[in-house]
Amino acid sequence: MIDRPTIERILDAAQIVDVIQEFVPLKKRGVNYLGLCPFHNEKTPSFTVSPSKEIFKCFGCGKVGNAVNFIMEHEHLTYPEALKFLARKYHIEVFEKELTQEEIEKQNERESLLVVTAYAARQFSENLFQSDEGMKVGLTYFKERGFRQNTLKKFEVGYSFEKRDAFSKKALDDGYKKDFLVKTGLSISHEDHIFDRFSGRVMFPIHSLSGQVLGFGGRVLKTDAKTAKYLNSPESEIYHKSRILYGIFQARKAITQEDKCYLVEGYTDVMSLHEANVENVVASSGTSLTQEQVRLIKRFTPNITILYDGDPAGIKASIRGIDIVLEEGMNVKIVLLPDGEDPDSYSKKTSNEEFTRFLKEKETDFIRFKTRLLLDEAASDPVKKVNLIRDIVRSIAVIPESISRTVYIKECSSLMEVPEAVLYHEVNKMRQQRSFQDRNKYPGPEDLPVPPPVIPKSVKHEVTTYVSEKEIVRLLLKFGSNEFERKIRTEDGTEEVTTVADYIVNEIISDDLKFDDTVCGTIFEEFKFATQQGIFIEDKVFIKHEDPMISRLSADILAESHQLSRIWKDKQTFVETEDMKLRSVVPDAVLKFKGDKIKVRLKEIMTQLEEAVKEGDKDKVLALQRKDQNLKATLTLISQQLGNRILL
C-alpha cells in the first residue's frame, strides 16, 4: 500500500503531456495536444491531451482518463504499479504503509533476486559482445543463424562462459551474495564449491511484463555435450515458468495494436518473427500452455494464433492442451507450417511480405483444424470415429459462450457427418458433468436448472437511473461551484449565494434519495460532505481520484463538455452555453433523477402488492396502495413541471 501523501506527490508531479509524450508523439493544437491513438489503429489523429484539464481522450475509440489511467492502460499495470512507474519517472521516493515483518522480508528477497538476475543479464551480454570466447562461440552461433545485431540487443541475449565457475566467481567478487546467486538458480552450491548452472551456453533472459529479468533459458552449443540442449532457471521466488511467456515484454505493445497474439515454441522462433516484422509473438518455452499464461495473453487480446511445425505426431500431442485456451473464451486459430519447417526456418526462407501473407491466408479456426486433422485418420474406422467425436465434443463443451458453441456444432456436424442434435446432446451432457465437478466455474445459462416462474422480489437496478445519476454527477463536476441563485435575506438584508452543488445536495438529501451506481454515489457523497462543511471542491480532485473508476468517469464527463465547446467554436456561431441556463438545466436534472427513483420504487411496490394480495394481508395491501397513489401523484407533478419547462 502506497501512503496518501506519496500518491499526492506523484499525482502532482505527473504532467499529463510529459507522461504521454514518452509513448505517443504529440503535436500542439491550440490549447491541447493531438496525436495518433495508441489504443486503436488510426491514420488521422483523434487522441487529444488537455494539459489544463489533465486528461486524455480519444475521440476515435473513446478511451479517456488521467495520467495514471494512461499508464495503467498502456503498460497494462494495476493502479499501484502505475503509481510506482510514475514515481520512478519523477524520482519520487515511495513510502508504503506498514507491511508485516514477513512481507518486508519477502519483498526484500524478491528485490535482491531481481538485482542479481539483472546483473547476470548484463554480464552475459558483455561476455557475448566483448569477450573473445563469447564472440567466437556465442556470437558466431547467432550470426550463423542469421540474427541481426539489433534483435540480439532487443532480447538482451548473452553468453555464459565454458569455465564451470566463471560467472559465480565474478558475481561473488562483485559483492553479490552467494545465497541470492543460489536462490535465482544461476549458481549451484556443492559443499564448499560454487558452480554455474549455465556454462558454455548462449543465454536468453526471460522478462516480466515490465521488463525485469526473472530467469534464463540457456542453449548449449557443443554438439557432443551430454547435457540437455536447453536448460531453464529453476522455479524461484521470482521465476515461475507457468506464469511467464517468453517475449511478452517485447510483444505486448504489438499484441494490443494487432489485437492478436502468435504463439510459437522456442526463443529463437520469437526472435525470428520479430525480424520478419511480426512482433506480436510469444513462446511458452517448452511447457504446455497453462491457464495463467492464457490469462496473461487475455489481458491484451482475446485472439490467439498458434504456429505449428508440419509434424503430425507433434501436433496431435499438443492440440489436447489447447482446450485450456478455449476454456478462457479465447478465439484460437492455427497456422500449419509447410513440412519440415519451423517458424524460425520458414520466416528466414521467405520475404517478410510472403511470410505475413502466409500467416494471414493459412490461418484456420482451431476446432475446424482439429476436426479435419483427426477425421483424416478416422475416415474408415468406426471406432476411431467415435473417439474423434468425443474428442471434438470435449473441445466444444469447454467454450464458455453458447453462441460460439452453436456455431461449432453446426460446422462439425457437417464435417463429421453427424446430426447436429447428437452433438448438442453430447455437448450438454459433458457440460453438465463438468459443472457437477466444478460448480461455479462456467455457469452458462443452460447449465442451470430452469427455475420455477416466480415474481421478482425487487427491481434493483434500472438502466435508466444510471443516465440521470450520471447527469447529476456531471452537473456537480462541471458547475458545482457556479452560482445557482442569489437571495437577499429579508431579516437583515444580507445577500445569500447558493451554488449548484448546494442546490443539488439539498434537494437529494431532503428526499433521502440514494444512488444505485457506486461510482456516482461516491462522487455525490464527497460533494455532500464538502457542501456541508462549506468547502469548495475542484473537479481535479476527482480526475486525480485514487479510485480509477472515479477518475475515469470524471475525466470522461469533463472531456465530453470539452468536445462540445470545440464544436461550437468551429462553427463560429453563437450558441447559448450551458452555464447560461443553469437555472433551468439543474432543476430539470434533479426532477428527472427524482422521477427515475420514483419509477423504481413503484415497481418494487407493485411486486410487494402482488405478494400481499396472495398472502391475503388486507392492512398491508391498503398501506401499499396508499404509498402507490402518493408516489404516482408525485410523479405526475414532476412530469408536469418538466413538461411546463419544456413548453417555456
Nearer Cβ to Zn ion (20/508): 20
Q: Cβ of residue 39: shortest distance to Zn ion, in angstroms?
A: 5
39 contacts Zn ion (rule: CB under 5 A): yes
- For the chain, the distance separating the N- and C-terminal CA atoms, rounded to the nearest angstrom, is 54
CA dist 438 and 37 (Å) reads 42
Cβ-based nearer residue to Zn ion, 244 or 558: 558
Query: Could you say whether residue 40 binds Zn ion (CB under 5 A)?
Result: yes
Dist CA 624 CA 608 (whole Å): 8
In whole angstroms, the minimum distance from the beta carbon of 75 to Zn ion comes to: 16
The region of 60-68, 194-202, 476-484, 551-559 touching Zn ion under the rule CB under 5 A is 60-68
Q: How many residues does the chain have?
A: 648
> One symbol per residue from 377 to 416: x for binding Zn ion (CB under 5 A), - otherwise; what is it?
----------------------------------------
Task: Work out whether 58 is an interface residue with Zn ion (CB under 5 A).
Answer: yes
If phi over 0 gives left and psi between -120 and 50 gives alpha, with beta otherwise, what is residue 182?
alpha
34 part of the interface to Zn ion, by CB under 5 A = no
Stretch that binds Zn ion, among 50-58, 171-179, 452-460, 540-548 (CB under 5 A): 50-58
Residue 40 or 434 with smaller CB distance to Zn ion: 40
Q: Which is nearer to Zn ion, 20 or 37 (CB)?
A: 37
Measuring CA to CA, how many Å separate 422 from each of 409, 416, 429? 10, 12, 11
Kindly indicate which of the ranges 26-34, 61-69, 102-110, 235-243 contains the residues binding Zn ion, using the contact rule CB under 5 A. Answer: 61-69
Residues 503, 92: Cα–Cα separation, whole Å: 41
The number of C-alpha atoms within 13 Å of 152 and in the hemisphere containing its C-beta is: 23
- Least distance between Zn ion and beta carbon 58 (Å): 3
Strand segments (E) across 47-150: 47-50, 55-58, 64-65
280, 261 Cβ separation under 8 angstroms: yes
From the CB of 48, what's the least distance to Zn ion, in Å?
10
Residue pair 624/605 in contact by the 8 Å Cβ criterion:
yes
Q: Which of residues 58 and 589 has its CB atom nearest to Zn ion in the complex? A: 58
- 37 near Zn ion, judged by CB under 5 A: yes
HEC string for 145-168: CCCCHHHHHHCCCEEECCCCCHHH
The stretch among 3-11, 54-62, 206-214, 438-446 that binds Zn ion (CB under 5 A) is: 54-62
Options 33-41, 273-281, 340-348, 522-530: segment touching Zn ion (CB under 5 A): 33-41
* Residue 515 binds to Zn ion (criterion: CB under 5 A): no
Instruction: Give me the least distance between CB of 365 and Zn ion, in Å please.
Output: 28
Q: Is 363 exposed, middle or buried (0-12, 13-18, 19+ CB in 10 A)?
A: middle
Q: How far is the CB of 554 from Zn ion (least distance, A)?
A: 19
Is residue 591 close enough to count as binding Zn ion by CB under 5 A? Answer: no
- Within 13 Å, how many C-alpha atoms sit on residue 646's CB side? 9
Residue 187, strand partner residues: 196
* Residue 61 touching Zn ion (CB under 5 A): yes
Q: How far is the CB of 57 from Zn ion (least distance, A)?
A: 9
Least distance CB 296 / Zn ion (angstroms) = 23
Rounded to a whole number of angstroms, the minimum distance from the CB of residue 35 to Zn ion is 10
Window contacting Zn ion (CB under 5 A); options: 29-37, 105-113, 487-495, 571-579: 29-37
Instruction: Report how far residue 80's alpha carbon sits from residue 431's, in angstroms, rounded to the nearest whole number.
Output: 39
Q: How far is the CB of 47 from Zn ion (least distance, A)?
A: 6
Contact 630, 583 (CB under 8 A): no
Nearer to Zn ion by Cβ, of 61 and 606: the residue is 61
Min separation Cβ 33 and Zn ion, Å:
15
Tell which one of 9, 21, 51, 60 touches Zn ion (CB under 5 A): 60
Q: Of 35 and 595, which CB lies nearer to Zn ion in the complex structure?
A: 35
Tell me how many residues contact Zn ion (CB under 5 A).
Answer: 6
Q: Which is nearer to Zn ion, 60 or 211 (CB)?
A: 60
Q: Cβ atoms within 10 A of the Cβ of 40, count?
A: 16
3-state secondary structure of 496: strand
The 8-class DSSP code of residue 25 comes to -
Report the run of H or E that residue 305 belongs to, with start and end.
strand 303-308
Retrieve residue 280's grid coordinates. Answer: 506480436
**Distance of alpha carbon 155 from the chain centroid:** 24
Give exposure, 308-336, as e/b (b: 16+ Cβ within 10 Å): bbeeeeebeeebeebbbbbbbebbbbbbb
Q: Are 151 and 205 in contact (CB under 8 A)?
A: no
- Which residue's CB is nearer to Zn ion, number 354 or number 560? 560
- Give the strand pairing for 303-308 and 331-336: parallel
Q: Which is nearer to Zn ion, 399 or 559 (by Cβ)?
A: 559
Min dist CB 62 to Zn ion, Å, is 7
Closer residue to Zn ion, CB minimum distance, 42 or 391? 42
Amino acid identity at 226: K
Cβ proximity to Zn ion, 20 vs 590, nearer residue: 20
Judged by beta carbon, residue 37 or residue 472, the one nearer Zn ion is 37
Angle in degrees, 0-180, between the axes of helices 67-75 and 548-571, rounded to the nearest 10? 110
| Closest separation in Å from C-beta 31 to Zn ion | 20
Which residues contribute to the site for Zn ion (CB under 5 A)? 37, 39-40, 58, 60-61
